[in-house]
Structure 1
Amino acid sequence: MRYKELVDVYEALTSTTKRLEKTTILAEFLKNTDADILPIVTLLSLGKVFPVWSEEEMGIGLKLLMKAISLVVGVSPEIVEDNVRDKGDIGLASEHLFGNRLQSTLFTRPLTIVKVYNNLVKIATISGKNAQSKKIRILIELLTSASPKEAKYLTRTVLEELRVGIGEGTIKDAIAEAFDINKEVVERALMLTNDPGIVAEVAKEEGEKGLKRLNLTPGKPVKPMLAQLSKNIKDSIEEMGYALCEIKYDGFRVQIHRIGDEIKIFTRRLDEVSDAVPEIAEYIQKCLPEKDFIVEGEIIATKEGKPISFQYILQRVRRKYEVERLRLEVPLTMYLFDVLYYEEPLLDLPFERRREILESISKSKKGKFGLSKQVKVTPEFFERAEDLFEYSIKKGHEGIMIKDPHSPYMPGIRGKKMLKFKAEPETLDLVVVGGTYGRGRRANLIGSYLMAAQDADGNLKTIAHTATGLDDATLLELSNKVESIMTEKKGRKVKAKPEIIIEVAFSEIVKSPEYESGYSLRFPVVKRIRDDKGLDDIDTVKRVESIFNMRD
């Protein structure tokens, strides 16, 4: 299948803002795609080359891509950069430049989807000496054969910025429509595999029965189950009727997989960080059986037995070098709170039963490894939960979790089966989409940041500007990060690729026509940069509405 056919679909998707129309366009294309390339097509439809849990990445930044474009179209990198700045998008700039290119290569062959995919995968495998020049050569091979429209989407795909308005929700609905399968079945298959390509292929070849056979597999992480905010402890427990309450640790949430003799540790972004925290793998080896499993827990950094700043944990998890030195400087403690797989999938078991299994297979290691402190609470004795909350705060933790003991594990779902009650004001995880340079001594730094949440279709909707809460060092770090992914600059205002996630505290949510979300945050304060979270983890406009309604 030619790449042009996929590009035509991209164009059709871009031509409408209606989700149902986008779903039908994509469903028709998936239905008419051969099963052997369906996994590739499905991933490329999302602007991705690898499933979200894959460790592979192309490692191509904007500057390297602009250099490849300049070599193909026969202009200077500065001209390419000017076009990107003027258009505000690498794809539109590429389309313009390729439409006016000064040189062309004879005997080019039409691009196929398989050729595009294989070359992009090949780029990800290149490392070591002369890696950049090798990556550019492969890029040039693709771009040389590309039409202006193909260049538009090729360059966007390289940077994973497809901009056709397709998210996981649309993919789910398109697969269901294309192969006449219940949406809930498709959704569950996607939750358990985190691989829309595999789900599409199985749906086409095996139908609903095939999708129902897909299940959790150690080695392939799933999105974590998410918690809603509890307004108060007593009401939450009365609504559940009976609850399991645990300490809420201010740490780094991880999912730990054992496959044979191998231990893999994944962040909530599904990045593998096993090499950065070797002691956690050692604790797991010693304290859990030599069986295949998937467990979930929180890593915290401690000093003299007390938890210390979340930023210290980030130092550990980010590091690829000097791990042993940091291991001594920033000791880690592991608290497990759930098991998703033990010799077989356990997701559908009630949480209380999963906890019992976790307790039966775990050995504690004082000061280094254990299970989250938990109490069973009924409405008549809700004070037990309040006592746990006070104990948690006294020990330097965030608060408590209130969990429905009858609930199955629901990957990626935020609901009332798992609640959090914290001492601090509620926060939102938002993505930086732009900013404004400061004045005076901060004229060379981006001092105010434009933040966005995502709507039901995965589109980003602005909600606030924030400039408070940044010390000089963090401001410099954040400003440099935004400048490195800047896509447009006009006067003091800039736009940026949506990559940097920030946890923002606020005093109140109010309705506001000033921002695309329809809401605004009063007195927003930067609490911390969340390097442990990705774009898929940011909060939704729906959650903003929920908090707004709850506080009314």
Structure 2
Amino acid sequence: MKYQKLVDVYNQLEENSKRLEKTRILSDFIKELDDETLSKVGLLILGRVFPAWSDKELGIGSKLVMEAVAKAVGTTVDKVEDELREQGDIGLASVNLFSKKSQTTFFSQPLTIKFVFDNLIKLTTISGSKSTSRKISIILELLSQASATEAKYLTRTITEELRIGVGEGIVRDAIAEAFNIDKDIIDRAHMLTNDLALIAVVAKNEGEDGLKKLTLTPGKPVKPMLAQLSEGIEPSIKMMGLAICETKYDGIRLQVHRNKDEINIFTRRLENITEAMPEIVKAVDEYLPHVNYIVEGEVIATRDGKPLSFQNILHRVRRKYNIEEAIENVPLKLFLFDLLYFRKSMIDEPLLKRRKKLEEIVDTSSEEINLSKMVKGTIDNIHEVEELFKTSIEEGHEGIMIKDSKEPYIPGLRGKKMLKYKAEPETLDVVVVGGTHGIGKRKDFIGSYLVALRDENDDLKTVAHVATGLDDDTLKYLTKKMEEYKLSEKGTKVTVEPKIILEIGFSEIVKSPEYETGFSLRFPVVKRVRKDKGLGDIDTVERLISMYK
């Protein structure tokens, strides 16, 4: 199938803001596709070439794409940069540049979806000497055969900024509509596989029966179940009846997968960090059974028995060199709290049963492998839960988790079945979309940052400017990143690609027409830069409204 047909669908989706209409457009398109094309479109429609659980990525910077665009249209990189600043988007810049294209490619064949997809995959396989020039050659081959509108979406796909207002929810709904399948069945299949391309093909060929057979597979991570804010220990336990209450550790949430002899460790972003944690791999190999499993926990860094700051563990996990030295300087401890798979999927079992089985299979004789500190909370032993909270805070942790003991594990869901109760006020994870140059002491930095949340269509909606909580080192780091991700600049204002994630605190949520969410945050303050999170992890407008209420 010609790539132009997919581009036409991209255009329709981008021009239409209504969710139901987007779903119809996509549904009408995918129901006519053969299996091979459907498996590719299931990824390309989200601006990807790999499923969400894969640790592979295109990883192509905007500078490299600009160089390829310049060669394709016969201009200079400086002129491409000028156009990008003017348009604020590499796709729109490409449309303008290609419409003025001075070069003509003779005997070129129309781009096909398969050719585009296969060449994008090829980009991820290139490394070593001259890899940059080889990658440019592949991108140039695509762009040289592209029309202006094809170039618009090619460049956006390569830079992983498709911008058509389609998230996973719309794709799930479109698959359900196209193949006449109950949305709940699609949702469950997605929770278990995290692979919409696979789901689309199975839905087309095997229907509901095929989708019901899909299950967890050790080695393929699933989105973690998420927590809401607890109103307090007593009302939370009253609501649940019997609650599993655990220390809330301030570390990195992990899934540890064993499939035969292979052990993999994934973050909550589904990033594979196995190589950064050889001592944890060794410990789970020694102290957990040699059968297929998926366990979930939190890893923290410690020194003299006390947890180190989150930044310490982040630097430790991000380290790619001198791992042995890092192991010595920043020792890790893993606290396990859930069991998702043991010889078979366990996510439909109640938490109480999953926890009991976890306790049976984990040998905690090593300091590196632990079970989360836990008490069973009922209305009759509130004091024990309060004591756990107090002890957790005294030991340097964030607070406690309060989980409904009767409930299954629901990947990706944020609900009232799992709550967090912290000593600190609740925070929001936001993405930076713009900024303003500082004055006075901050004249060399971007001093204020415009931040946004995701709406139901995965579009970004602004919610606040934040300028406090930033020391000089953080300002220097953020200003450097803002320059790297800059899309346009007018006067003191800068717009950037949505790449920088901040965790911010605030005193109050108030209604405000100034920002696109319809709300604003009073006295926002940056708590930390979340280098462990990506755009898909930021909080939603829905959650903001829920917190406001």
- TM-score (structure 1 length as normaliser): 0.99
- Considering only aligned residues, what root-mean-square deviation do their CA atoms show, in Å? 0.8
Please state how far the C-alpha of 1:442 moved relative to its aligned partner. 2.4
Residue 26 of structure 1 is matched in structure 2 by 26
CA distance, structure 2, for counterparts of residue 54 and residue 20 of structure 1: 29
Q: CA deviation at 1:432?
A: 0.8
Alignment of 1:140-539 (within 5 A): 140-539=140-539
The one-letter code sitting in structure 2 at the alignment partner of 1:221 is P
* Contact 1:119-1:138 within 8 A present in 2 as well: yes
Q: Secondary structure at the match of 1:382?
A: helix
**Whole-Å Cα distance in 2 between the matches of residues 521 and 110 of structure 1?**
50
Distance apart, 1:547 and its partner CA: 1.1
Aligned counterparts of 1:195 and 1:535: Cα–Cα separation in 2: 18
Shift of residue 501, structure 1, vs aligned partner: 1.1
Provide the C-alpha distance between the structure 2 equivalents of 1:246 and 1:289, rounded to a whole number of angstroms.
24
The residue aligned with 1:544 is 544
Structure 1: how far apart are the matches of 2:282 and 2:227? Answer: 29
Deviation, structure 1 residue 60: 1.1
- In the aligned structure 1, how far is the partner of 2:482 from the partner of 2:187? 34
Amino acid at match of 2:317: V
Q: CA deviation at 1:381?
A: 1.7
Matches within 5 A, 1:71-82: 71-82=71-82
Distance in 2 (CA, whole Å) between partners of 1:283 and 1:515 is 49
Q: Is the 8 A contact 1:305 1:367 kept in 2?
A: no
Following superposition, the deviation at residue 365 of structure 1 comes to 3.4
Question: Deviations along 1:97-151, whole A, 9 cap, x unmatched?
Answer: 1111111211110000000000000001101111100000000100000000000
Output the CA distance in 1 between the equivalents of 2:510 and 2:403.
Answer: 29
What per-residue deviation string (whole Å, max 9, x for no partner) do you get for residues 476-525 of structure 1?
Answer: 11111121111111111111111111110111111111110111111111
Determine the C-alpha separation between the residues in 1 that align with 2:224 and 2:365: 25
Q: CA deviation at 1:90?
A: 0.3
Counterpart of 2:180 in structure 1: which amino acid? Answer: D
Give 1:247 shift: 0.3
Equivalences, count:
549
Q: CA deviation at 1:228?
A: 0.3
Residue type at the aligned position of 2:84 = V
* TM-score scaled by length of structure 2: 0.99
Q: Within 1, Cα distance between the matches of 2:440 and 2:107? A: 57
Aligned pair 1:91/2:91, yes or no? yes
Shift of 1:206: 0.5
Matched residue type, 1:215: T
CA contact (8 A) 1:19 1:170 kept: yes
CA contact (8 A) 1:509 1:519 kept: yes
> How far apart are residue 74 of structure 1 and its match?
0.4
Q: Matched residues in 2 for 1:455 and 1:380: separation? A: 41
In the TM superposition, residue 78 of structure 1 has moved relative to its aligned partner by: 0.3
User: Whole-Å Cα distance in 2 between the matches of residues 472 and 365 of structure 1?
Assistant: 44
Q: Is the 8 A contact 1:237 1:379 kept in 2?
A: yes
Tell me the distance in 2 between the aligned counterparts of 1:15 and 1:366.
57
- Give CA deviations for 1:424-466 in whole Å, capped at 9, x if unaligned: 1110111111111111342231111111111111111111111
CA distance in structure 1 between the partners assigned to 2:277 and 2:507 by the alignment:
36
Contact 1:306/1:395 (<8 A) preserved: yes
Q: Give the C-alpha shift of residue 231 in structure 1.
A: 1.2
In 2, Cα distance between equivalents of 1:539 and 1:385 = 28
Contact 1:437 1:448 survives alignment (8 Å): yes
- Runs of 4+, deviation exceeding 4 Å: none
Q: 1:113 and 2:113 equivalent?
A: yes
Contact 1:223 1:268 in 2 (8 A): yes
SS of the residue 2:124 aligns to: helix
> What is the alpha-carbon distance in structure 2 between the residues aligned to residue 299 and residue 219 of structure 1?
19
Give yes or no for contact 1:218–1:293 (8 Å, CA) kept in 2.
yes
User: Which letter maps to 1:14?
Assistant: E
- Measure the CA separation in 2 of the matches of 1:444 and 1:69: 32
2-side partners of 1:125 and 1:381: how far apart? 57
Contact 1:431 1:453 in 2 (8 A): yes
- Tell me, in whole angstroms, the C-alpha distance in 2 between the residues paired with 1:481 and 1:260: 41
Tell me the amino acid that sits aligned with residue 334 of structure 2: M
Distance 1:490 1:82 in 2: 13
SS for the counterpart of 2:488 is strand
Deviations, residues 325-364 of structure 1 (Å, cap 9, x unaligned)? 1111111110000010011000100001000110110001
- Report deviation, 1:52: 1.4
1:37-96 deviations in whole A, cap 9, x for unaligned?
211011101111111121212221010000000011000100000001101110000011
2:149 and 2:444 mapped to 1: Cα distance? 37
1:30-69 equivalences under 5 Å are 30-69=30-69
C-alpha displacement of 1:312: 0.3
State the AA in 2 paired with 1:124.
Answer: T
Alpha-carbon distance in 1 for matches of 2:452, 2:154: 26
Identity rate of aligned residues, in percent? 58
Q: Distance in 2 between matches of 1:363 and 1:15?
A: 56
Match of 1:237, SS state, is helix
> How far did residue 366 of structure 1 move?
4.2
SS in 1 for 2:111: coil
For residues 35 and 390 of structure 1, the distance between their equivalents in structure 2, rounded to whole angstroms, comes to 56
Partner secondary structure for residue 312 of structure 1: helix
Cα distance in 1 for partners of 2:344, 2:158 equals: 37
CA distance in 2, matches of 1:494, 1:201: 43
Letter in 1 for 2:338: D
Question: Conserved in 2, the CA contact under 8 Å of 1:427 and 1:503?
Answer: yes
Residue 282 of structure 1 and its aligned partner are, at CA, apart by 1.1
Q: Which amino acid aligns with 1:3?
A: Y
Residue identity opposite 1:322 in structure 2: N
SS in 2 for 1:286: helix
